Amino acid sequence: MVSAPDQPPRPALFLDRDGVLNEDPGYVYRWEDFVWIPGAREAIAAFNAAGWWVFVVTNQSGIGRGYYTEADVQKLHVQMGADLAKAGARVDAFYYCPHHPEAANEVYRHPNPPNRKPNPGMLLQAIAEFPVDLARSLMVGDKDGDVEAGLRAGVRGLKFTGGNLKTFLEGELR
């Protein structure tokens, strides 16, 4: 991840991962289990072309629960980035929260993790690292907590209920 504080502010598209970018059968951390949501790569490419920042903000409690490691998530995000590049798209930064109030691993246990959505920590981190135009930015998630995290960070939220992500977001670039 490379921050860009010296650039002028741009709108940002904050995207939840599981259920928005990829199908969510539960605890996806291996590339062989990763399946893109229809239109996800194309949506990211369209927002890239329009000059928006694109950030992934994803709760990953499977780390705290001991199902997989931070290295597994980081590896998956690298593979996502490589696959996006083939489609002419990119994510400017990936943020994930491994913490959970009931994490099996004490290192990841926190009663109310500030980065775990619906808390806005991951969005606030991106906003601190990149010049984001909050008024024009958007958080897209498949859960009410995703939308709430956006609102708590000062960003409008949309709930994605399935289908083609590019089609769902087309009106946002007009």
Which residue ranges are tagged as binding site? 16-18, 24-27, 58-61, 97, 99, 116-117, 142-143
Q: Which of 18, 33, 83, 146 is catalytic?
A: 18
83 annotated active-site = no
> Which residue from 127, 104, 106 is spatially nearest to 115, judged by alpha carbons?
127
What residue numbers does the annotated binding site for Zn(2+) cover?
Answer: 97, 99
Selecting among 6, 16, 144, 146, the annotated active-site residue is 16
Tokens of 105: 């691993």
Cα distances (Å, whole numbers) of residue 36 to 52, 54, 135, 146, 159: 21, 16, 29, 19, 18
DSSP 94: E
Q: What is the DSSP letter of 109?
A: B
Q: Where are the beta strands (DSSP E) in the chain?
A: 12-15, 53-59, 93-97, 138-141, 156-159
Q: How many helices (H) and strands (E) does the chain have?
A: 6, 5
Query: How many whole angstroms separate alpha carbon 174 and alpha carbon 161?
Result: 21
Is residue 146 part of the annotated active site? The answer reads no
List active site positions: 16, 18
